[in-house]
Structure 1
Amino acid sequence: MIIIDYSAIAISNIVTQKLDIQEDMIRHMILNSIRMYRAKFKDKFGEVIMTGDAGNNWRYNEFPQYKAARKKNRKESKMDWQEAFRIINLVWEELGEHFPYKTIKIDGCEADDVIGVLVEQTQEFGQHEEVMIISADKDFAQLQKYGNVSQFSPMTKKFIKEDHPRKQLLELILKGDTSDGVPNVLSDDNVFVNGVRQTPLRKPIIEALMQDPNSQGENVLRNIQRNRILIDLESTPQVLKEKIIYSYDNQNKANNRGKVFPYLVDKRCRRLLEDVKDFI
């Protein structure tokens, strides 16, 4: 399976291409990216599965500061993010209606959760298959602990290869993830929200914590658990895992193959019509 992190490819196209917020142009760029990755990887990895971010992210209940700084940055940006997300969400709905790909977006989940669960499912008896993840997100490197998982970055146009995924996950938990508003384990919950500098996490402390998570005291141990819940993809609540699997198992989009050409005509995607076979 080719698992595409939809929000990642949509936003990366807008940001890296410096696109004007025009519906037709953004639609074309998103669809062309999907076409390109399917054409590149289908022979080895099979069909495309689209994964999206939904509302009511369960991580907000665990850590209200999650991604708070990202929202602030968008408010301060000159880009019309409200219009951008309107178009991104519209194209998502169009993909589900007109293309032969499973589209999975579960209330309470990020695409990260969906991707983690789908990969985990391939480890079940009789369900093994090769997986290609299309995303630049370093969080997915942890899934390379499974030998059937590869990752390709739409930002760098290169494969992401992690030789020590379990160690990489632990280091990520200790260091936190600034882009998601997750502090390092020496820092308080509110550092990013309050604009405070993080407590520096030196290499000797990282090495000590890698050997013994209890070595720096109870507060640091508490922060390790905080970060593990937010970063380790195995932390997705079981009830949400079951909803993801149900959505995947109960979609059959094969009949949508005949809808792709009329859709591209209707949306005046003339360049994509020349390569319509790459979509189906």
Structure 2
Amino acid sequence: MTLPPVAEPFLLPFHYGALHQVGIDYLVDPEPARAVLAKRHPGLDVAEFDGRACVSVNFQLYFAQYQNGGGITQEIEVNLVAVPRGAQDRVSSLTYPDYASGVDTSGLLGIGRLHVLCDNDIAIRAGTLLFAEPKYPARFEVSMPSLNGPATSTWSVDCLGHFAFTARLDGLPATPVHSAPITGYGTTEEGRLLAGPMNVYQPCQLYHLDDPDRITLTVTDPSTEVCTDLTTMIGTAPAVAAWTFQSTPVAAHNRPYYQPFA
């Protein structure tokens, strides 16, 4: 078996200098989800958890350092948890809490990327050429937890012209979970299925929702393909869980003081 080529001028693995993300999971009717998945990834089938499919909407803000400077990227992935056709028998039967807690160790249960909306041209090119991501431009307005801001656990993400969501996680207990490596699936123009593993080196925080009203997802333009697919797959299904990851700060510039000796 040969490996896919690494398109120049990119290098792999791609190293994240910092990563902040929030994901929202929905358990939905598998048949509409299966139809959406087949359009993008004919080599994948929907993974089912007690008869339900899992749609995941995942926002990322990340920093990368390069030889000649740094770059900041924001993106949203609309994913469907999936498994390669013909490999279903090699994946253990899991409940959704099992999957969300990182129980699967096969490496086959992964995210079928349906839409990736991104505000960085280089990241769009890299994601498309290296990982066969269906990645295209978008702009964002974001409010998120930060040690440099007011104390909150609420995330608000507006993918301008497409859709917006808010995750109100304040006061909700979180469980540390580690599900790395995360397998991301893409399909090349020639129809070949790619599997790209991503390792997040620290646990994420998993929130099982006590109230579905903690999550709101609003479609801005129903005519866009991403919004059509979201509406088809999710319908009126409530969100069942949210998960977050925020990189640990590496330094802090502290408050100044008056020097009495000068």
TM-score (norm 2): 0.24
Structure scoring higher RCO (CA < 8 A, sep ≥ 6) equals 1
TM-score (norm 1): 0.23
Higher fraction of helix: 1
Higher fraction of strand: 2
